[in-house]
Chain A
Amino acid sequence: MRAADALIAVMLLIVGFGSAAADEAPRRVVSMNLCTDQLALYLAAPGQLVSVSYLSHDEKASVMAADARRLPVNHGLAEEVFLLNPDLVLAGTFTSRASIEMLVRLGFRVERFEPESSLDDIRANILRMGRLLGREAEARRLAASFDAEISSLRQDRGSRAPLGAAYYANGLTSGTGTLVNEIITTAGWRNLAAELGIEGMGLLPLELIVMNHPDALIGNNQKEEEPSLAFQNYSHPALIAAIRSGTGVTPLPERYTVCGTPATAQVIRQLVDRRRRMTKSAGGKS
């Protein structure tokens, strides 16, 4: 027990030398969570961010993978983060509890971010990240351009809102209260899961997709995925027969939906374009 106390005291001492005063902008920021990684990469000054989580190097999960690759990764372990000697640690509310608690006990400043489940959350997290990093002006600019892009996308309402069925690995869907629902509805679509009363993530039975005739499935790009059973329903004969447009799955890549970032506006734009093309071809036929 005494040895452990002594160890912690020594650690605290080492940390004490590294940490900056609280009101100054932090100089060594470590991010342990995919979502905070991306926001910090958007906003941090050169050299301010010293490590990001290993997930952010993955192009499928992160919109900032190219920038993230310039930085060393951490795996969300308290030991790694400790050795990086940060003066600010960014984490998600779902980041490993044990690691976070240990870092807090060791006296690190840890800031936790809720995952973004709406466009408002994205704006709020951008502004908060700006405050924490001492980059408020940049954050306000980024949030303003995000807002402008979203409101211009909202203007573009078609005459008819197509019905989309969000359908991911293992038959999961996103209902009300999710970022995907906001992405779909902001793009001028109707979300089948929300209309069926599904809240949050839930299973969307194949039968209900067939009975409701969605105009398109919105999901992963199967060609990018390694073989598994998770996407076998995409080639289910009933599903293929049920999608009226017959054009397969409209991709909504995970990197835009796992975390809300300014890039979320891009994927809304893709869905708006898709809707325009659909209504145009439908109009041409009639």
Chain B
Amino acid sequence: MTVPRGYGALMIGLVALVLVLMAVSLVVGPATITPLEALRALFHDDGAATLVMREIRLPRTLLAAMIGGTLGICGAALQSFLRNPLADSGVLGIGATAALGAVVAIYTGLAAAFPLALPLFALVGAVLSVLVVLALGGSAGTTTLILAGIAVSSLAAALTSLALNLSPSPYAALEIVFWLLGSLSDRSMLHVQLAAPFMIVGWVLIAGLGRPLDALTLGHDTAASLGFRMSRVSLLLVLGTASCVGAATAVAGSISFVGLVVPHMLRPLVGGKASRLLPASWLGGASLLLAADLTARLVSPAKDLKLGVVTALVGAPFFLALVLKSRGRLA
């Protein structure tokens, strides 16, 4: 057991970072409320300022943390389980199929009549893509898996665009951007209530996989000989990932690269153990998405810059570097 001495310190640092970013996120906005007033209005009823804080800024901040955490923990779990550095819910197409499910629920009018249909449809979409990707490329090498993910992802994105183009609403076609790039603007507590239960279930399922994932770093056979049933681990991972990524996508569109980048940055700091990487990646993902959302709001407050644009600007060069590094190993 090599316990890196800094692990405790790292976790405390990450928690502090998340809290600081949440506080900053709560005091930034178009309404002219001073930071002190803002934080006071959050706790004491102060008319309009309280409304802005509790119903507009708080849900946005909570969702940024929850969705970032979701993407971080799922990325870490998928990378550990598949032993593949390129795995993440975006690369494997889980976000894209969840978005497709959400689009079907919203634009048929189903979600308006029955709000739970939104996260449920997104969840179904996410489950389907995880199953397809695992069936196509689960046991094969890195490249096959990524190819399967890209195929599923492109198909789902195309079907999403098709569904929105065929939708009778004249606004639907413009909303392709939201579903493919994601945004947190003007989310409400209703969205938090809708998504939170599914996300929490997902986090709990995935967090419970720490030990089997640790064992898996020694190889499938060793893990099996240690008493972990891989079929069960796989099932829990599928359900956990689908549940939280599905809910995240249903309320904020698909946001790429967070799940890919965060585990890579944190892996050296936690000593490469999956059971430690999972909680650290939750916190890291939450920080990254909070920072990305703040950037989007500060850079162009009047333009509603989409979140996926910011995360892709950070993530895509990182992804490229990763591909370059792994090219040597694959060749």
Contact = CB atoms under 8 A, between A and B. Distances in A.
Given A211-B52, A242-B51, A170 B188 contact: no
B55 A238 contact: yes
A134 interface: no
Given A202-B302, A203-B304, A211-B48, A228 B55 contact: no
Interface string B97-113: 00000000011110110
Contact of A210 (B31, B178, B190): B31
A102 interface: no
Contact of B106 (A203, A228, A238, A242): A228
B114 interface: no
B31 A236 contact: no
Nearest to A212: B48
A210 B48 contact: yes
A229 B108 CA distance: 12
B167 interface: yes
Contact of B108 (A227, A237, A242): A227
Contact of A237 (B55, B170, B174, B303): B55
B35 to A, nearest CB: 15
Contacts of B172: 226, 228
Interface string B157-201: 000000000011111101100100000001011100000000000
B306 to A, nearest CB: 13
Contact of A170 (B107, B108, B174, B302): B174
A242 B190 CA distance: 17
Contacts of A228: 106-107, 167, 169, 171-172, 175
A202 B301 CA distance: 12
A208 interface: yes
Given A203-B302, A205-B31, A210-B52, A227 B109 contact: yes
A269 to B, nearest CB: 27
Nearest to A225: B169
A95 B302 CA distance: 28
Nearest to B179: A229
Interface in A59-75: none
Contacts of B48: 210-211, 213, 242
A241 interface: yes
Contact of B56 (A169, A202, A206, A231): A206
Nearest to B47: A213
A233 interface: yes
Contact of A238 (B52, B169, B174, B303): B52
Contacts of A236: 55-56, 186, 188
B169 A211 contact: no
Q: Which of A225, A231, A238 counts the most B-chain CB atoms under 10 A from its CB?
A: A238
A228 B167 CA distance: 9
A40 B202 CA distance: 60
B169 A227 contact: yes
A226 B167 CA distance: 8
Contacts of B51: 210, 238, 241-242
A227 B103 CA distance: 10
A205 B106 CA distance: 23
B169 A230 contact: yes
A227 B151 CA distance: 29
A162 interface: no
A238 B178 CA distance: 22
Nearest to B302: A203
Nearest to A204: B30
Nearest to B106: A227
Contacts of B189: 237
Given A229-B175, A230-B171, A233-B186, A207 B302 contact: no
B229 to A, nearest CB: 42
B85 interface: no
A171 interface: yes
Contacts of B29: 205, 207
Instruction: Name the 9 nearest CB pairs between A and B, nearest first.
Output: A238-B55, A230-B171, A226-B169, A228-B169, A207-B31, A205-B30, A226-B168, A227-B109, A228-B171
Interface of A: 169-171, 202-203, 205-208, 210-211, 213, 225-233, 236-238, 241-242
30 contacts: A170-B171, A171-B186, A202-B302, A203-B304, A205-B29, A206-B56, A207-B31, A207-B57, A210-B51, A211-B49, A211-B52, A213-B48, A226-B172, A227-B106, A227-B107, A227-B169, A228-B106, A228-B167, A229-B171, A230-B169, A230-B174, A230-B175, A231-B171, A233-B186, A236-B55, A238-B55, A238-B56, A238-B188, A241-B51, A241-B55
Interface of B: 29-33, 48-49, 51-52, 55-57, 106-109, 111-112, 167-172, 174-175, 178, 186, 188-190, 301-304
